[in-house]
Chain A
Amino acid sequence: MKKISLIIAIAFSGISFGQTEEVKEEKKGNFFGGFESNSQWYTNDKNREINHPEDPFRSNSYLNLNYSYGRWTAGIQGESYAPNALQNYNPKYDETNVATYYLNYKSNKLDVTAGYFYEQFGSGLLLRSWEDRSLGINNALRGGKITYTPTDNFMFTALYGRHRSGFDVSGGDVFGFNSDINLFKLLKIESSDLSVGFSYVGRYEETDMINPDFDELTNAYAGRFNFSKGNFYWSTEFNYKSKDGVLYDSNIVDDYTKPGTALLMNFGYSKKGFGLDATFRRLENISFYSEREPEVLAPEKTSIYFNDKLMNFVPSLTKQHHFNLANIYVYQAQSLVYLDPNNGVGKAGEIGGQIDFYYDFAKTTTLGGKYGTKIAVNFSNWNNLKGDYTLFPPDYKTDFFGFGKKYFSDFNIEVTKKLSPKLTSSFAFINQYYNNQYITGASNVTVKTNILAAEFDYKFSNGRAAKLAVEHMWADNDRKNWAALLLEYNFNTKFSMFASDMYNYGYDANANLIDHETDPFDIHFYNVGGAYKKGSTRFALNYGRQRGGLVCAGGVCRFVPPSTGLGFTITTSFN
């Protein structure tokens, strides 16, 4: 413990030193970077029948350092999972090592990187490499990338690399080319705007199969456009992945090969005080990994489970709620083909869409009141692809615009109203439909929920502020009802504390639950904590119970096991 406090003291002194230091005169050389550490001290919890893991103290830390000199920049990221990574992270994140490094040259027209890099083509449905530490995703490509921007209206990118996987790289080679063109700007058409893009992504992986019914190089293409005229906009993209082996029970089998497609359309109309947006998407067999067959990393857990070796980004197009209870039954985009011989479920993708509506009732109108009222409505609905699914031999045939079994829907409305110069309130109603059998396959439970939530923010003087949020969820199945409460108080703009509780009640422990291992009895999920921030640095400490379930960011999810304990987070950036 002494050691820890000493280390913290050193870190503190460094931080305060870094901020008071005067601006260096020479401008050529520049250091920058950041540090993040998330630690957890897991404890036993008798009420929940939870025993802490063998190493009760675990921590994930990331140190990123960069140095730039003129047009050149070099950087390195070290990561430490010591003595062990936080629970249920990819076992390939082990101990301390250099994770990524790069050397970059950037002029006005040319941007060249050797080493690890991040990139996204279009909306990422064929290629996206990114980092999300809370999910344990870092699929940076190790190789080379050149981006050439001859004029403002053209951008071309070519790349080659292998995906980072733990502290190693995956076995598949990735090739990519992307172009983005501002077409109407180029043609000097000014009344409206049209930009177009084209991408190619190749994934090469050798196969042991004799006479496979697919090529070792899988080719994928995408075309897209963005059009806008005045307040109206419209964008569409189509993605195609060439014929490749489809997974059946985590393996590639003979004669089961299919191409994949993704169609994404978006329309909208918006002007000051009004916004309307509609999205349609259809996915079929568009899951894409740099290795065809998943790697087994833990008992019954493969690289797919840990979001490892991902080629693309297929987010679920639903509203990302900030209320806690609305994040219990979370939809995950269905890009994978899955035929389950145990329960007869067959799915090959998803079809559906969502609509958003925003309206601002102006001040001094009837509904706007003295300070104005803002309303946001969202509706999303997702179904399986309609088609014929056969289990033996595995096969499927889909209708392009057919809607199959319903996966999920979410209708929600949120009203934000300022009641006085010091008090702001917001009210939400959320109605969800969640078909677990088809979404995750864990059980045959379908849940319908209604959620009511209210939030109040009150400003005192000198940065003091308080927040109160209350939520209730009525569910007709699974764990039934939940109530939640959150209190937050800011003592000033630097220091804040919070206390929260989520309480699950009203269900029968013998009922058919989605997951029996995550707290199968009535329980309070309490949490208390505080945060201190100064400049770019933030320290946060919390103690409490973590509900077992999915933690999602950007529509990609990670399963977090139930735990109780003390958490400590430091984040800082050097600038």
Chain B
Amino acid sequence: MKTLALFLLFVGNFMYSQQEFPTVNVKSIDGETIATSSFNEKDKLYVFSFWATWCAPCIQELEAISEVYEDWKTQLNVEIIAVATDDSRTQKRVKPLVNGKGWSYTVLLDSNQDLKRKLSIANIPYLVVVKNNQIVFVQNGHTPGAEEELLAKLKSL
């Protein structure tokens, strides 16, 4: 019990914010290496959505955003980056699934979860909004219909 208390005290006391988005090499859907620091257009909102082919709520979230994505782009300078955390069991399913669903997102493969680990993401779906290389908003989990709230949030960033 004491140890748990110590652990939690640590949590309370080390709550400094990480503002900078980590630079990690990930792969594009075609297998090319891409550094996350290349998403660096000034004042553009980059929404990194962590998902996997086996994660039903993740797919539900990306499907919902997909329907309003074109509309969002007319209102905001925003890009959705779907980061597939699939390991080699399901990674080959990413490309046909993305195309099969007709998504127009930029898709990245984080196959040994280096980026996910750097952000200490325990569960997916998980959204990280980055602006000028700074993390400006985080959302964990998905609730059907939450994309309206997300759009309002994005507009305020």
Q: What residues make up the interface of A, taking CB atoms closer than 8 Å to B?
A: 3-4, 7-8, 10-11, 13-15, 17-19, 21, 23-24, 27, 30-37, 59, 61, 63-65, 68, 78, 80, 82-83, 95-96, 106, 118-120, 123-125, 128, 130-131, 133, 149, 152, 155, 180, 182, 185, 193, 195, 226, 228, 233, 235, 266, 268, 270-277, 279, 313, 315-317, 319-322, 356-360, 374, 376, 424, 457-461, 463-465, 467, 490, 492-493, 496, 531, 533, 535-538, 554-555, 571-575
Contacts and interface: CB of A to CB of B under 8 A. Distances in A.
Q: Pick the most buried of B23, B93, B128: most chain A CB atoms within 10 A of its CB.
A: B93
B100 A360 contact: yes
Contacts of B145: 459-461, 463-465
30 contacts: A13-B12, A15-B15, A18-B16, A23-B17, A23-B19, A31-B14, A35-B10, A35-B11, A36-B122, A80-B7, A82-B4, A152-B33, A182-B32, A185-B32, A235-B92, A266-B92, A270-B98, A272-B102, A273-B102, A279-B92, A356-B97, A424-B144, A457-B144, A458-B144, A459-B145, A533-B140, A536-B126, A571-B140, A574-B15, A574-B18
Interface in B118-154: 118-123, 126, 128, 134-135, 138-141, 143-146, 149
A571 B97 CA distance: 29
A531 B142 CA distance: 12
Contacts of A119: 112
Interface of A is mostly: strand
B97 A358 contact: yes
Given A128-B88, A574-B18, 14 more contacts: A7-B8, A14-B12, A23-B19, A27-B20, A149-B33, A270-B98, A320-B90, A356-B96, A358-B99, A360-B100, A360-B101, A376-B100, A573-B122, A575-B138
Contacts of B114: 118
Interface in B43-59: 53-56
Contacts of B53: 320
A491 to B, nearest CB: 10
B101 A358 contact: yes
Contacts of A424: 60, 144
Contact of B12 (A10, A271, A274, A537): A10
A37 B4 contact: yes
Contacts of B60: 424, 457
Contacts of A571: 122-123, 140
B70 interface: no
Nearest to A125: B88
Contacts of A268: 92, 95-96
Nearest to A461: B145
Contacts of B42: none
A19 B17 CA distance: 7
Nearest to A130: B112
A343 B102 CA distance: 50
Contacts of A271: 99
A190 to B, nearest CB: 13
Interface residues of B, number: 69
Nearest to A155: B33
Contacts of A538: 122-123, 140-141
Nearest to B126: A536
A503 to B, nearest CB: 22
Interface of B: 1, 3-5, 7-20, 22-23, 25, 30-33, 53-56, 60, 87-93, 95-102, 111-114, 117-123, 126, 128, 134-135, 138-141, 143-146, 149
Given A123-B88, A459-B145, A463-B145, A274 B16 contact: no
A123 B90 CA distance: 11
Contacts of B31: 193, 195, 226, 228, 235
B88 A313 contact: yes
B18 A30 contact: yes
A573 B120 contact: yes
A508 B74 CA distance: 62
B3 to A, nearest CB: 5
Q: Pick the most buried of A124, A130, A317, A573: most chain B CB atoms within 10 A of its CB.
A: A573
Contacts of B113: 118, 130
Given A118-B112, A119-B112, A459-B144, A21 B17 contact: yes
Nearest to A111: B25
Contacts of A320: 53-54, 89-90
A193 B145 CA distance: 39
Q: Which 6 A-B pairs have the closest CB atoms?
A: A358-B100, A34-B120, A14-B12, A275-B96, A18-B15, A315-B89
Q: Pick the most buried of A124, A133, A275, A457: most chain B CB atoms within 10 A of its CB.
A: A275
A106 B66 CA distance: 35
B1 A131 contact: no
A376 B53 CA distance: 12
A492 B141 CA distance: 12
B11 A30 contact: no
A376 B128 CA distance: 29
Contacts of A182: 32-33
Given A272-B102, A275-B97, A320-B54, A536 B138 contact: yes
Contacts of B111: 120
B117 A131 contact: yes
B143 A30 contact: no
Contacts of A23: 17, 19, 134
